[in-house]
Structure 1
Amino acid sequence: MTATVRYADVEVGAQLPEQVYPVRRLDLVRYAGASGDFNPIHWNERFAKSVGLPDVIAHGMFSMAEAGRLVTDWTGDPGAVVEYSVRFSAPVVVPDDDTGAEITVSGVVKEKLDGDLVKVAITARSGGAKVLARATAVVRLA
């Protein structure tokens, strides 16, 4: 698959279309199975609260993956991501109900780099809190 966004057509300040990703407890169970991370803070409310959390929280890498999805959906090519980094700043709290939580992700092109690379700043929020800090991706465009 090739990138659907062309380097020549992208300007600094261009906004990536905001996306809202739902997060339910079932998603956390599936992620635990795929990742092998069965820490009870991600599925056991009683345990999560006993260690001072407000409720079950999403895996940090799950939250990071959802934010990265914004960029891969934008480019049309997961292989276009050359570099990706974040700092975790707040947990995504996932209540045990039919709606769960949401991660709202947006991005902006911050810089055009040498060749066909662009640097994208990503913002991810959930429950009114910024859940990722200093989230950036370097992406190779067509």
Structure 2
Amino acid sequence: MTLRMSEVAKGDQLPTLEVPVTRDDLVRYAGASGDFNPIHWNQRFATEVGLPDVIAHGMLTMALAGRLVSQWAGDPGAVAKYSVRFSRPVVVPDDGEGALVELSGKVAAKNDDGTVKVNITARSAEQGVLSGASAIVKLAQD
């Protein structure tokens, strides 16, 4: 269902989204994206370059945060602008469970042009993994 501008107010919280990320997910994402950097699949290599373990692709983490907003809006095409800064990697252990990415959002502004600004929070292992994450969303008009 597509969200309408009249159904949204500044300060509204988006429904939270929790996404498990496993090593299998990283392999699938590597195949889809063409990013086969060994820090995303080879534990030995990742630790040799100073990482704590294999890490998720930054663009995968960004995509998960974008999913939060597009699901809330009810239309992936409603996201007019989207930006993030990568602040920490999502560490994905090889324990069968992987990592949990916890996503939340809040309507920061309701604009006269029929858009809303949503600030996004992304966390994994109780730490923020994205900073300055926000989306401008064009909602259906009444």
| TM-score using structure 1 length | 0.97
| TM-score using structure 2 length | 0.97
CA distance in 2, matches of 1:91, 1:104: 13
Gaps spanning 5+ residues in structure 1: where? none
Letter in 2 for 1:33: G
CA distance in 2, matches of 1:130, 1:42: 19
* Equivalence for 1:92: 90
Equivalent residues in 2 for 1:1-142, closer than 5 Å: 4-142=2-140
Q: Deviations over 1:81-115 (max 9, x none)?
A: 00000000000000001110010000000001122
CA distance in 1, matches of 2:127, 2:78: 29
- The structure 1 segments of at least 4 consecutive aligned residues displaced by more than 4 Å after TM superposition are none
Q: CA deviation at 1:79?
A: 0.3
CA distance in 1, matches of 2:112, 2:62: 26
RMSD: 0.8
Q: CA deviation at 1:6?
A: 1.0
Q: CA deviation at 1:48?
A: 0.1
CA distance in 2, matches of 1:72, 1:26: 24
CA distance in 2, matches of 1:115, 1:128: 36
CA distance in 1, matches of 2:135, 2:113: 16
Q: Deviations over 1:95-137 (max 9, x none)?
A: 0011100100000000011221000000000011100000000
Identity in percent: 65
CA distance in 1, matches of 2:101, 2:22: 11
SS of the aligned residue for 2:64 comes to helix
Q: Give the aligned length.
A: 140
